C-alpha cells in the first residue's frame, strides 16, 4: 500500500477536474464514508471519501453505494453548508496526506459563505473536518477528538482548526539533487511524502541510472502528471499500488487510466467486505453455531443408526430361542445354541425372571422397535444433512454478500422459522429482490442472484423461458441468467466465470458450471428458497476471475 504524500500529490492533480464543479448531493453510506455527487465539466462525478483505518482515501469512484434511509447528523450538516456549493480549489497541505476542498456556497439567507472540507488520510487518525475558512473554526467532523485524547489539537465544533503537526521534513520537489545517494530509510526519514514503497522504487531506479538527477526528477514528475495513471502489482500474496511504475518488485503490473479506477480495484471489495462484516457479524456467528450443532446432531443420529442396524441379530435371537424352547428353563441367564444359518455357536442372554417364550417375545419386540427407529433415524439424518447444506449455502452467501443482500438473508431465515424477525418501527413495503446486472463483452445482459431470494426471483421471475441459466455443478452458488437463448461462446464463458466467482469455489480453479435453458429449471414442492432441480444441462470448466467480474459489472 502507498497512499503516501507523493500519491496524495498525484491524487490532488487528478481531482483538479472537480474545480468549478457544483456539489449536487451529499451522502454518508456509513460512519466511515462520504459520497459527494459533483457536476463538473459537463459530467456527473462521484467523489468517495473514506476514513477507514486501513483504507483511508479520497478518489472519484464508479462504484455504487447503498445509503441509509435516514442520513446521519454529519451528513445533514454537510448538506446544509456545502450542498449546492461550488468547488473553487483542490489543494494538498504541504506534502501531507491531507487534501482540502475549498467550497463557495450560500447560507440560508443567500449570502456567500466560504467552507473547507479537510480530508486527513492518516490511518487510524483519519478524519474529515468541515471548517469555516473565514474564521478557521471547526463546524464539525466525522470523528471528535476532545483535549483528553489529543492535547495538541482538539477536534470539536467551535474549536479553532489546527493543522496536523509538521514532520519538519524536506520537500523532495525542491531538493531533487539531495535525493541522490540516500538509501531507502534516509529518504523516508528526510523527505516529506515518501513511503517505504516509493523510496524503494526510487532507490532501485537510481542504482542503475547514468544521469541520477534526471532519473530522480522524472520519478517525481510522474506524481505531477495532469492525468496520472495508476499502477498495481501483486507479489507474494500482497498488493501494492502507486502513481508510478513499480519496477523494483519484478512482478506483472496492471495499469489503470486513472487513480480512481486503481483505488476502486484495490479497495472497493475489501471495504465492502468490512461493511458487511459490521452488519452481518452476528449473522455469520449464528450460522456457524447452527452448522456446528447440526453436525453434532448428525454424529449422534449416525451412532443411533449403527445401533439400530444390529436389529437383525435381535430377530435371530428370538427365532433361536423358539427353536430351542425344550432346552431353556425359567431362571437361566444365557444359553449357547447353534445358528442354523451358518453352523456357528451363538450365546444368547436371557432374562432369568421370564419364561422362554417371554424371552423370545422380548427379542422380537426390541427388533420391531429398532426397525421403526431406523426408519425415523434415517429421516432425521436426511433432514439434518439438508439443513447443514442449507446453512452452508447461506454462509457462503453471507461471506460474498453486499450490504443490501444481508437483510434479505435475515428475512429468509425468519420466514423459514429459524430466526425471529427483526422489529422495525416503520412498516416496510414489500419490495422485489434487487439482482446484480452485468453485460458481457459482446453486449449481452446477464443477471445474477446473490442470495436465495434473489436466486428464486432471477430464475422464475426475471428469466424468460428461453434464456440460458447457469449454476456451479454440485457447489453452492448464485443463479446466473444470460438473457439470450443462444449466447455466443464469449458470453457463455463470461457468465460461467461470474457463476464460479459467486460460489463456494471462488478460490478454486477449473470450476464445473452447468448451463441449460431456464425452462428446464424446476422448484420441487416444499423446497427451501434457492433450491432447484434442472435437466438437459451441459457443463463448462472455468476459473473465477475477479478482474473480469468487476469489468463486466453494469
Q: What is the pLDDT of residue 428?
A: 56
Residue with cell 495538541: 152
The pLDDT tens digits for 443-471 are: 999 999 989 999 999 999 999 999 999 99
The pLDDT tens digits for 190-233 are: 999 999 999 999 999 999 899 999 999 999 999 999 999 999 99
Residue 352: how many CB atoms within 10 A of its CB?
11
Taking 70 as the threshold, does the pLDDT of residue 57 lie above it?
yes
Q: What is the pLDDT of residue 498?
A: 96
Q: Which whole number is the average pLDDT over 469-480?
A: 95
Q: Which whole number is the average pLDDT over 419-433?
A: 64
Tell me the C-alpha to C-alpha distance, in Å, between residue 55 and each of 278, 304, 403, 430, 506. Answer: 15, 52, 18, 35, 24
The overall pTM is greater than 0.85:
no
Q: Around 493, how many Cα atoms within 13 Å sit in the side-chain half-sphere?
A: 11
Tell me the C-alpha to C-alpha distance, in Å, between residue 434 and each of 171, 479, 487, 549. Answer: 50, 13, 24, 18
Q: What is the pLDDT of residue 423?
A: 61
With 0-12 CB in 10 A as exposed, 13-18 as middle and 19+ as buried, what is 401? buried
- Chain centre to alpha carbon of residue 388: 22
The percent helix, strand, coil of the chain (3-state, each to 5) is 40, 25, 35
3-state secondary structure of 277: helix
Taking 80 as the threshold, does the pLDDT of residue 431 lie above it?
no
Q: What is the pLDDT of residue 309?
A: 66
Taking 80 as the threshold, does the pLDDT of residue 344 lie above it?
yes
Which helix (H) or strand (E) covers residue 206, if one does? helix 196-207
Q: pLDDT band for position 284 (50/70/90)?
A: confident
Taking 70 as the threshold, does the pLDDT of residue 411 lie above it?
yes
Taking 80 as the threshold, does the pLDDT of residue 170 lie above it?
yes
3-state secondary structure of 240: strand
% pLDDT > 70, the chain: 96
Tell me the C-alpha to C-alpha distance, in Å, between residue 432 and each of 66, 221, 400, 408, 457. Answer: 16, 51, 20, 10, 8
Query: Could you tell me which of 97, 98, 129, 99 has the C-alpha nearest to residue 115?
Result: 129
Q: What is the pLDDT of residue 177?
A: 93
The pLDDT tens digits for 502-514 are: 999 999 999 999 9
Q: pLDDT band for position 276 (50/70/90)?
A: confident
Beta bridge partners of 541: 512
Query: Could you tell me which of 267, 266, 256, 247 has the C-alpha nearest to residue 227?
Result: 256
Residue 69 is placed in which grid cell?
A: 434511509
Query: Could you tell me which of 128, 127, 126, 101 has the C-alpha nearest to residue 115?
Result: 101
Averaged confidence pLDDT in the chain: 90
Report whether 249 contacts 240 (CB < 8 A).
yes
Amino acid at each position: 500500500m502507498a497512499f503516501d504524500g507523493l500519491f496524495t500529490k498525484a491524487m490532488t492533480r487528478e481531482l483538479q477536474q472537480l474545480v468549478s464543479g457544483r456539489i449536487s448531493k451529499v451522502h454518508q453510506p456509513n460512519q466511515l464514508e462520504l459520497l459527494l455527487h459533483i457536476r463538473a465539466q459537463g459530467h456527473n462525478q462521484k467523489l468517495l471519501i473514506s476514513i477507514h483505518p486501513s483504507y483511508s482515501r479520497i478518489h472519484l469512484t464508479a462504484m455504487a453505494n447503498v445509503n441509509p434511509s435516514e442520513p446521519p447528523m454529519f451528513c445533514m450538516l454537510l448538506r446544509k453548508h456545502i450542498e449546492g456549493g461550488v468547488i473553487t480549489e483542490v489543494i494538498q497541505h504541504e506534502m501531507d496526506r491531507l487534501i482540502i476542498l475549498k467550497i463557495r456556497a450560500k447560507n440560508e439567507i443567500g449570502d456567500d459563505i466560504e467552507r473547507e472540507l479537510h480530508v486527513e488520510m492518516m490511518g487510524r487518525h483519519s478524519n474529515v473536518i468541515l471548517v469555516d475558512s473565514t474564521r478557521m473554526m471547526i463546524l464539525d467532523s466525522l470523528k471528535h477528538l476532545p483535549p483528553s485524547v489529543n492535547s495538541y489539537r482538539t477536534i470539536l465544533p467551535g474549536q479553532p482548526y489546527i493543522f496536523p503537526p509538521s514532520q519538519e521534513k524536506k520537500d523532495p520537489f525542491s531538493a531533487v539533487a539531495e535525493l541522490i545517494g540516500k538509501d531507502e530509510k534516509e529518504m523516508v526519514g528526510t523527505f516529506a511524502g515518501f513511503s517505504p514503497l516509493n523510496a524503494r522504487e526510487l532507490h532501485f531506479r537510481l542504482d542503475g541510472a547514468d544521469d541520477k538527477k534526471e532519473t530522480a526528477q522524472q520519478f517525481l514528475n510522474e506524481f505531477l502528471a495532469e492525468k496520472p495513471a495508476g499502477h498495481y502489482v501483486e507479489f507474494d500474496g500482497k498488493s501494492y499500488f502507486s502513481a508510478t511504475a513499480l519496477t523494483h518488485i519484478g512482478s506483472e503490473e496492471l495499469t489503470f487510466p486513472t487513480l480512481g479506477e486503481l483505488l476502486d480495484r484495490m479497495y472497493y471489495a475489501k471495504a465492502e467486505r468490512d461493511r458487511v462484516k459490521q452488519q452481518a457479524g452476528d449473522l455469520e456467528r449464528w450460522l456457524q453455531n447452527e452448522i456446528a450443532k447440526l453436525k453434532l446432531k448428525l454424529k449422534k443420529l449416525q451412532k443411533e443408526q449403527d445401533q439400530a442396524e444390529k436389529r437383525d441379530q435381535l430377530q435371530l435371537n428370538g427365532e433361536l430361542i423358539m427353536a430351542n424352547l425344550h432346552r431353556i428353563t425359567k431362571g437361566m441367564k444365557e444359553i449357547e445354541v447353534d445358528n442354523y444359518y451358518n453352523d456357528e455357536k451363538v450365546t444368547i442372554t436371557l432374562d432369568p425372571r421370564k419364561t422362554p417364550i417371554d424371552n423370545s417375545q422380548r427379542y422380537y419386540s426390541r427388533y420391531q422397535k429398532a426397525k421403526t427407529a431406523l426408519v425415523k433415524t434415517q429421516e432425521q439424518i436426511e433432514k439434518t444433512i439438508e439443513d447443514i447444506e442449507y446453512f452452508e449455502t447461506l454462509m457462503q452467501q453471507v461471506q460474498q454478500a453486499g450490504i443490501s443482500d444481508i437483510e434479505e438473508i435475515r428475512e429468509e431465515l425468519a420466514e423459514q422459522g429459524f430466526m425471529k424477525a427483526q422489529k422495525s418501527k416503520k412498516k416496510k413495503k414489500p419490495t422485489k429482490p434487487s439482482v446484480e446486472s452485468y453485460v458481457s463483452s459482446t453486449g449481452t445482459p446477464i443477471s445474477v442472484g446473490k442470495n436465495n431470494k434473489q436466486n428464486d426471483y432471477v430464475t422464475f421471475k426475471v428469466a424468460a423461458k428461453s434464456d440460458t441459466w447457469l449454476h456451479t455443478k454440485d457447489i453452492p452458488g448464485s443463479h446466473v441468467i444470460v438473457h439470450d437463448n443462444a449466447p455466443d461462446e464469449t458470453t457463455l464463458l463470461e457468465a460461467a466465470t461470474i457463476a464460479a466467482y459467486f460460489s463456494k469455489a471462488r478460490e478454486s480453479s477449473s470450476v464445473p458450471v452447468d448451463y441449460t435453458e431456464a425452462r428446464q429449471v424446476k422448484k420441487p414442492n416444499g423446497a427451501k428458497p434457492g433450491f432447484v432441480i434442472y435437466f438437459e444441462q451441459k457443463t463448462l470448466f472455468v476459473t473465477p476471475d475477479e478482474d473480469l467480474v468487476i469489468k463486466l459489472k453494469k
